Amino acid sequence: MKIPIVYLVIPCYNEEEVLPETIKRLTAKLNSMIHDELASPESRMLFVDDGSHDRTWELISEYHGENPLVCGVKLSHNRGHQNALLAGLMTARASADCAVSLDADLQDDIGVLDQFVKKFLQGCDVVYGVRNKRETDTFFKRTTAQGFYRFMQLLGVELVYNHADYRLMSRRALDALSEYRETNLFLRGIVPLIGFQSGCVTYDRNERFAGESKYPLKKMIAFALDGVTSFSVKPLRIIANLGILVSVLSVLGLLYALISYFTGNAVAGWTAIVCSIWLLGGIQLLCIGVVGCYVGKIYSEVKDRPRYTIEQLLK
């Protein structure tokens, strides 16, 4: 088999603090892979600037002029991590035999890139990077992340446990990914749907080299909700079943009230009435909110707006 052209796709958002070290380490790693004939000399690092407000694109442009391995894509404005990653993958698809997506903060262990490519050479179209453990996470983040994976499995969504967006995809897999036209992207749920032969590489996640996380709690919750509503309609079925249950209980409550009235055992129950009204009101608002999430996603999808716009490309 010929030596593959490997593209490393790295989404960036306000990463000026970490970019110099990231480029330094990835350059050394890619040169090592080229020397070991695991990657072709035509292999590249593709940095995707997702509408950064700092010097991220300026640095990418500077390194592009100095380092032949550095390429860049600048999006016209911030479109979010998943769209930026997709933009990079679709750009790399034209030139690469396979593309590896990873974060710019050096938390993904680049030492296992050799194993990714070896799995690809053995016939895998998709290779997932799976964390060995989550000891570097806080208790809250570790618990909520593991709970999210289990919850998604209960909803019937096919996810790779403890896998984020550190993965290799062959050109054939990227071609298949391009056929998925969702506006609301959740790539770690879409990629397993592609099929093809896949494999896993385990690794230990490092501490962030510099800068701040671009995924605070608010974004993590929004990302999780996107994942749930993009791949399962079970929440709507739960609402329907809940509605049936509440209706049955309401009928039973009505029968009890009528029997108490006619037997002369009716007792004034202001507290019970108020509590039941609040309970039912809360359930109704929750159900309307869940339905609203799905309606909102339908609204976004039917407009079929571009998921990203490339302003500048450095090859």
CATH number of the structural domain spanning residue 36: 3.90.550.10
Residue 12 contacts residue 47 (beta carbons within 8 Å): yes
- Dist. CA 310–CA 236, nearest whole Å: 37
pLDDT of residue 253: 67
* pLDDT tens by residue, 267-313: 566 556 656 776 677 677 677 777 777 777 776 667 677 777 888 88
Output 234 or 183, whichever has higher pLDDT.
183
Tell whether 81 and 115 lie within a shared domain: yes
* 228: in domain: no
* 222: in domain: no
* 17: in domain: yes
Tell whether 281 and 138 lie within a shared domain: no
* pLDDT tens by residue, 120-140: 999 999 999 988 876 656 666
* pLDDT tens by residue, 75-122: 988 888 888 999 999 999 989 999 999 998 888 888 899 999 999 999
* 219: in domain: no
pLDDT of residue 69: 93
Q: Is the pLDDT of residue 188 over 90?
A: no
* pLDDT tens by residue, 238-252: 777 777 677 666 667
- Dist. CA 86–CA 9, nearest whole Å: 9
% the chain with pLDDT above 70 = 70
Section 205-230 average pLDDT: 60
% the chain with pLDDT above 90 = 31
* 248: in domain: yes
Domain hosting 159: range is 6-214+307-314
Number of domains in the chain: 2
Q: Is the pLDDT of residue 209 over 60?
A: no
* 32: in domain: yes
